[in-house]
């Protein structure tokens, strides 16, 4: 097979260590991470890798507060670099849930620009973070620690509060005469936490904590106190239980007692008994919220728990035990068992397990997707595509169902149908690497070689691998000589990428 028809590898930490222009960042991340302050929202100075490419800089000692446009620019660049180093989740249903959760909370937060870029990191450690420019990241492990949706939302609300209060820019202004922590430090620590199990990142951040100046600590504590207050207010306004913030803090504190190492989140968001008490006191002053629990959250949590087990067979045993016992979330346990049985190569048994859920809610997207996965495992592609097409017709803006339908057509060998769906979807979700990844694969098998290069270029742009993006754009330009419109589009995109490279060098 030729290079054009081969499926290209998804960008991973290993790929980037061997070929990315950010590889120097990885080698120096531990040292750079010493720029992070305990509990503070990171601010930015300048750092260079081996290729003399500088990271974005929020400002200098004479710039004052950074503009929001500048923060957005920084956020986009940071996210590209982060993706180039870290495994992100390709689970469209999970991505959709996290995006919707953040969107709902943002409506009740004081955040002025409510457009957010959400990255879900495929890692079982508990972590969440916010970056200037509206980037919010969530480790899948957060679902394992948060026992209910309100606790999960309390962490998201806290991160939104850091963004809405512009702690990054305010920290820069307050410390204009100090040595400034770097965005590279934040990137280095978060990359290490997400790829090396967190130990190296924790070592670097622990050293930073010991070296931090008292005035910097005081300011960062003020940031955390303000984020606690604003986050709890956001929870209450959204109709969620403000007590969940204190409960989640307590969960974190327990983790420091019973685990070999604390969750990464605690290294930048230290929790004390006083902080828990303050959160509870603040929540007690607010109106009581009726107790509720979101089944949707527990369904997403079940998806994470299936993948967290060493093997699908172990996941099957875990969920079988839960169904036999007393369980407040029986539907989630049943759903998790069906997913695990499908992954274990037992689609018929999985259908028996899932059927009671389908009988109650035949149109629920999580159950429709699970049923389609069973069809695909049986190689019943006609049933899978028919079932998903009906669901998409009823809910055409649903990202997870759309990706599920495209994937089903792809697996069935209906490449032209998959291509049509993904080309349209890529115009809606231009900043989603998973969409461009599958579109590139589909273009290749459908015989659209120019489309392969265009989609691969967009994928690499979103992952901060500009050299490879330019390589594919040049191939596309050469092959599109007789298509004036496509040729012009690709040439303009080349100019865009060259500007991105130049801007990265200048910043």
Binding-site residue ranges: 158, 162, 224
At residue 131, what are phi and psi to the nearest 5 degrees?
-125, 145
Contact between 246 and 283 under an 8 Å Cβ cutoff? The reply is: yes
Bridge partners of 128?
138
Distances (CA, A) of 297 to 150, 156, 248, 294, 307: 9, 14, 15, 5, 16
Cα-to-chain-centroid distance, residue 412: 29
- Residue 241 falls in the annotated catalytic set: no
Distances (CA, A) of 271 to 109, 261, 266: 23, 14, 7
Closest C-alpha to 111, from 33, 29, 167, 73:
167
CB atoms within 10 A of CB 291: 9
Burial class (CB in 10 A: 0-12, 13-18, 19+), 161: buried
- Provide the sign of the torsion angle of the four alpha carbons 371, 373, 376, 381, taken in this order: positive
User: Could you tell me the two tokens for 224?
Assistant: 């955390």
Integer Cα distance of 136 and 171 in angstroms: 19
Catalytic residue (choose from 71, 149, 228, 458): 228
Catalytic residue (choose from 159, 322, 375, 458): 159
- Residue 113 falls in the annotated catalytic set: no
What residues form the annotated binding site for Zn(2+)?
A: 158, 162, 224
Integer Cα distance of 355 and 88 in angstroms: 31
Integer Cα distance of 429 and 380 in angstroms: 29
Closest C-alpha to 417, from 446, 392, 444:
446
Integer Cα distance of 353 and 334 in angstroms: 6
Active site residues: 159, 228
């Amino acid at each position: 097979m030729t290079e054009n028809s081969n499926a290209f590898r998804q960008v991973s930490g290993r790929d980037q260590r061997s070929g990315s222009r950010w590889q120097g960042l990885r080698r120096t991340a531990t040292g750079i991470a010493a720029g992070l302050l305990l509990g503070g929202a990171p601010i930015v100075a300048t750092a260079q890798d081996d290729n003399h490419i500088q990271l974005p800089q929020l400002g200098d000692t004479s710039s004052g507060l950074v503009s929001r446009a500048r923060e957005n620019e920084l956020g986009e660049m940071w996210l590209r670099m982060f993706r180039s180093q870290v495994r992100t989740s390709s689970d469209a249903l999970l991505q959709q849930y996290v995006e919707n959760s953040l969107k709902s909370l943002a409506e009740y937060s004081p955040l002025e620009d409510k457009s957010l870029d959400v990255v879900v990191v495929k890692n079982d450690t508990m972590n969440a973070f916010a970056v200037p420019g509206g980037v919010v990241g969530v480790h899948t492990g957060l679902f394992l620690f948060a026992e209910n949706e309100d606790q999960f939302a309390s962490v998201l609300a806290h991160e939104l509060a850091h963004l809405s209060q512009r702690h990054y820019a305010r920290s820069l202004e307050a410390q204009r005469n100090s040595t400034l922590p770097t965005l590279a430090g934040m990137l280095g620590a978060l990359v290490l936490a997400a790829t090396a199990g967190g130990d190296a990142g924790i070592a670097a951040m622990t050293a930073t904590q010991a070296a931090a100046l008292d005035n910097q600590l005081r300011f960062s504590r003020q940031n955390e106190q303000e984020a606690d207050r604003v986050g709890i207010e956001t929870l209450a306004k959204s109709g969620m239980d403000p007590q969940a913030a204190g409960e989640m803090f307590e969960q974190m504190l327990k983790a420091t007692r019973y685990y070999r190492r604390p969750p990464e989140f605690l290294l930048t968001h230290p929790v004390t008994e006083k902080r828990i008490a303050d959160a509870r006191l603040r929540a007690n002053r607010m109106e009581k919220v009726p107790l509720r629990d979101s089944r949707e959250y527990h369904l997403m949590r079940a998806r994470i728990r299936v993948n967290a087990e060493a093997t699908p067979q172990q996941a099957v045993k875990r969920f079988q035990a839960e169904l036999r016992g007393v369980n407040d979330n029986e539907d989630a346990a049943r759903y998790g068992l069906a997913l695990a049985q499908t992954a274990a190569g037992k689609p018929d048994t999985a259908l028996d397990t899932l059927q009671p859920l389908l009988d109650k809610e035949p149109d629920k997207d999580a159950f429709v997707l699970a049923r389609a996965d069973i069809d695909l495992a049986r190689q019943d592609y006609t049933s899978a595509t028919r079932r998903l097409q009906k669901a998409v017709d009823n809910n055409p803006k649903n990202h997870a169902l759309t990706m599920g339908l495209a994937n089903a057509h792809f697996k069935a060998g209906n490449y032209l149908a998959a291509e049509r769906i993904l080309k349209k979807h890529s115009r809606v979700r231009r900043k989603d690497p998973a969409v461009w990844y599958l579109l590139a694969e589909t273009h290749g098998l459908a015989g659209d070689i120019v489309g392969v290069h265009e989609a691969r270029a967009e994928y690499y742009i979103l992952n901060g691998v500009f050299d490879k993006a330019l390589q594919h754009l040049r191939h596309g330009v050469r092959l599109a000589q007789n298509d004036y419109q496509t040729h012009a589009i690709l040439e303009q995109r080349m100019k865009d990428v060259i500007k991105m490279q130049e801007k990265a060098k200048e910043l």
